[in-house]
Structure 1
Amino acid sequence: MAQVTVGVSLKAYFGHERARVWFDEVAARVRTHDAVASGAVELFITPTYLQVLPALAAFAGTSVRIGGQDVSSEEPGAFTGEVTAAELAEVGATIAEIGHAERRRLFGETDQATAAKTRVALRSGLTPLLCIGETEGQEPEDAAIVAVAQVHSALEDADAGAVIVAYEPVWAIGAPEPAGYEHIRVVTAALRAAIDADPARAGSVVIYGGAAGPGLLTELRDAVDGVFLGRFAHDPDALVTVLDEAAALADLRRGQGEAG
């Protein structure tokens, strides 16, 4: 796939006004970024629920996709405090982040909950952003077995539809450095094979998160379809640096495709 995906999760770092300023600053840069405008690079952002609407407004007229950092596993009904997939889709969000390690560790979310959220997201027309990764450092071949099992579990009985698989080894989230390049290549290749073997997942992508930053896309090249950024992207200019790297990778892939 020639297109390269860059995602950003703001977690709960920004207050409302700081988030609005960040949206405006990033939107101004995106509107003049040729690769984003052409679709060679896809950018998505998952802010807090309260920030979804101002994000949609700030990025109106661009190709930037906005999503929720979580989603209810239930259809609309008597579920106090929940935000449903149907409502996210109604306001214009197109992505639901599901199964992040922090949701699992801090809030006890299980594989069953992840699968239920994936099913309801796809039924509502949202693209699940499936966060996948082993909790402890291990050999890449062993990590690949864990990651593929998590994907299969999350997609059990789910409707057809593309997904974004974000490989984030839990031990690398917030670490000074990402997982080793060879480790990432082995695991993402296994995830890609698992996704490609399922015709219901046409159009899906596999990206890497976990201390992702500048230079990683250039090094990994065809091993991933993109990266999932955290605090590094709080600086809009730093985010543009990664978008530029993604644009260069998209150009390289397009050239390889034409040569083939």
Structure 2
Amino acid sequence: MQAFIPSAPTLSLSPSRSLLSSFKTCTTFSPQAPARRRRPLTMTASAPPPLEDGMILFAKAGPGGKVMGDCPFTWKANLALRFKNTDFNTFYIDLANKPGWFLDLNENGSTPTFVDGPHAIGDSDEIVDYADKVGRKENLILTREDDPNWDAAFDAVSPVFGSFIRFVKNKEPDNEPKVKAELTEALRGVNKFLAQGKGPFLLGETISALDCNLAPKLQHISVAAGHYKGYRIPPDCSDLQAFLERMRATEEWKASACTDDVIVWGWSKFF
């Protein structure tokens, strides 16, 4: 068996177009027809994965270290890889107790990190772009910046997660109405965009990188904001709700999603 050499891959962490500004990876401080489905392999600090297992997605571990964690950026990358019919394994990383070999691989110690032979990518947007290159579903391009609706969809999606974080982490009662209204406004902005489009996804009939980016964040809002602050996505956001339900119904979502309990666990550090 070929030994895994953590320092061998070259990590890509170069600045790139971001779907959500600086929100692209999970660290210790973060809240944290498909490809042939593989069983996620158990990650232990003393046992890095062998390179012969092929492409590997390193994901934030959930409670106990053996289930998918709540990192929405890993979720985005995972969805993209699966929609592109990419053959890969998943390994879980305890971000509170990162193994030394993982820090050698990615000095930032963040997830997601994707390894394909000599290549290592530590940026969720770049993993989505890489999926476009190596995925076996060649007729699907996820990052379609030449689409005439890309910029408008990008602008609609961008405020959502930041407004959610400000709301869910707010501890100032006087500021609560303001941050709650900002989140609601951001969600209504996406709903308006979806209502004006031809659907069922943000750019029409075909899934895109923007859909992979948005849906996990909506799930976090639905679960965490609901659990900790009693917030519900506004009933007038019916197109947004329908979009999330369509994403939840896909096999790619079912294969990549963490449970709602894990999302609650991931945000519990703030409450």
Superposition TM-score, scaled by structure 1 size: 0.29
Higher strand share: 1
TM (norm. structure 2) is 0.29
Structure of greater Rg: 2
Q: Greater RCO between the two (CA within 8 Å, min separation 6)?
A: 2
